[in-house]
Structure 1
């Protein structure tokens, strides 16, 4: 006989009920089968776990000690099984969620708040990334999902849920010739020194309007890896920053002006993940993101 949790459960029921008939009723098994399994357990252990008397049974000294260990073993197994089920259902576990600076300000809090309300058992580790990693950790596999802006740099294949599309604006110093304008067009900005991300690639090309330059090289006034340092470079007169409407709300300051760009492409904010790598918990997060109100 191989001792297993079933024998442990049988013995626990008999010891707690003090009676094979009541224990069999509790377990919904036939009493002869229950009696046989407990007897086989005793023989396998070489111990008399129960003292049998005409009206029932009571645990022996060894049986009382074994009862404590048997309960602990059954509880540990049940707890492990329940924990595994919760992870498999996406109701427990951990998610590492990245966000690119200036990409998660409007949209990440609402999505993550709703997710926490629905799945409080999932621990979410939120990590901020600067412009040196525009995939916000996805390219290196250090995050499971990330709030980013398209396009991203890196060879990793990503899928995404679109959260918003934002119009672009130009951040200029308060004394700049564009500061008093309601809007400018892309062609007016092509000759301006621009603040650029530190890495070459699709991300940097997008914000420098390189697809509008007919092969000409953009004039880079400074490079910045964070949005705060980008705006600081603008304020000190080193160049113009191409950014989004959200900057007006979150980074408005007296030494800067934000001017609309009439014919610029939109910036798309997404919740992204590595294609084909979706855990149950991440699937729930993506469902929450898909339900988020659309933004223009």
Structure 2
């Protein structure tokens, strides 16, 4: 007995006729009759009462067709899930990121992805850069979203995503807080508070690129503090800080955020997605396509 036999029985029961079932299934009527007779012979019982008016289920047939429907529905459901999984629309993906990137562009991308692909489970992992790349290489993390330029992780594939404004966090009473935009030269001689936690080291490098001249003398103080704690220190007058635009939503800290500009306009930070070239998880490409469209 094969799945097609069950389909013939279900169609015949639904239509009350072998010929109507054959028409529905686009086969010849003798084929339907023959296959159903094969099942009856195998079971040793009659499923249909045949007459010139058509074919009616017997009591045994009524019980049997219930099981037929259940089996066919289960098989179809399995086939749909297998197809969805192979096309990357069903499954699980592990996404790693810095804790300070848990808002802004990443959150928007995750929200959109989950709405579009509700059958894909997204597991999130917050870790430092070194742990993220190690996880990607080990296969425990499918993709990592980090600050930087494509090619930052030489052994991994990477994709440029969105960009975000770089802002300076100032105590509310700071003289630069009166300005709508702050230019890099105006930060000479300031005391910068930077977290050891990612993306602190990346922001430190950006700071040094813009204020690296000997006459600038940027005072950089590295602290093992979270982004929120750094901003609390800024609010208490201990220095200023460079932050991603997503930090602007953190209020009630006694801090004013102002965009940073140079001669070419606003300073922006680029984000990239990194993944292992050998990763065969079908949902990975689905995720990449989705975030690339947002970028």
- TM-score, normalising length: structure 1: 0.71
Partner in structure 2 of residue 267 of structure 1: 269
Deviations 1:174-199 (A, max 9, x none): 5679777844559946x946332247
Partner in structure 2 of residue 206 of structure 1: 202
Q: Cα distance, 1:77 vs. partner?
A: 0.9
1:274-289 aligned within 5 A? 274-277=276-279, 279-289=281-291
1:72-83 aligned within 5 A? 72-83=70-81
Q: Is the 8 A contact 1:139 1:154 kept in 2?
A: no
Q: Is the 8 A contact 2:158 2:272 kept in 1?
A: no
Is 1:194 the counterpart of 2:190? The answer is no
Q: Which runs of 5+ in 1 are unaligned?
A: none
RMSD: 4.2
CA distance in 1, matches of 2:244, 2:118: 35
Q: Is the 8 A contact 1:99 1:129 kept in 2?
A: yes
Partner in structure 1 of residue 243 of structure 2: 243
CA distance in 2, matches of 1:65, 1:95: 43
Q: Cα distance, 1:244 vs. partner?
A: 3.3
CA distance in 2, matches of 1:29, 1:239: 81
Secondary structure, aligned partner of 1:48: coil
CA distance in 2, matches of 1:257, 1:130: 28
1:127-142 aligned within 5 A? 127=124, 129=126, 131=128, 135=132, 138=136, 141=139
Q: Cα distance, 1:254 vs. partner?
A: 6.1
- TM-score, normalising length: structure 2: 0.71
Greater displacement, 156-165 / 71-80: 156-165
Seen in structure 2, the aligned counterparts of structure 1 residues 141 and 242 have a Cα distance that, compared at 3 Å, is farther
1:28-43 aligned within 5 A? 28-43=26-41
CA distance in 2, matches of 1:99, 1:58: 62
Q: Cα distance, 1:70 vs. partner?
A: 0.5
1:1-296 aligned within 5 A? 3-103=1-101, 105-112=103-110, 114-115=112-113, 119-123=116-120, 125=122, 127=124, 129=126, 131=128, 135=132, 138=136, 141=139, 144-150=142-148, 157-164=156-163, 166-167=165-166, 169=168, 171-174=169-172, 182-185=182-185, 188=188, 192=191, 194-198=193-197, 203-209=199-205, 220-224=221-225, 226-236=226-236, 240-247=240-247, 249-251=248-250, 253=252, 255-258=254-257, 260=260, 266-277=268-279, 279-292=281-294
Q: Cα distance, 1:159 vs. partner?
A: 1.5
The alignment covers a number of residue pairs equal to 280
Secondary structure, aligned partner of 1:270: strand
Q: Cα distance, 1:228 vs. partner?
A: 1.2
CA distance in 2, matches of 1:238, 1:131: 25
CA distance in 2, matches of 1:156, 1:233: 38
Q: Is the 8 A contact 2:163 2:268 kept in 1?
A: no
Seen in structure 2, the aligned counterparts of structure 1 residues 166 and 138 have a Cα distance that, compared at 3 Å, is farther
Q: Cα distance, 1:9 vs. partner?
A: 0.8
Q: Cα distance, 1:113 vs. partner?
A: 5.0
Q: Is the 8 A contact 2:17 2:54 kept in 1?
A: yes
Q: Which runs of 5+ in 2 are unaligned?
A: none
Instruction: Indicate the structure with greater helix content.
Output: 2
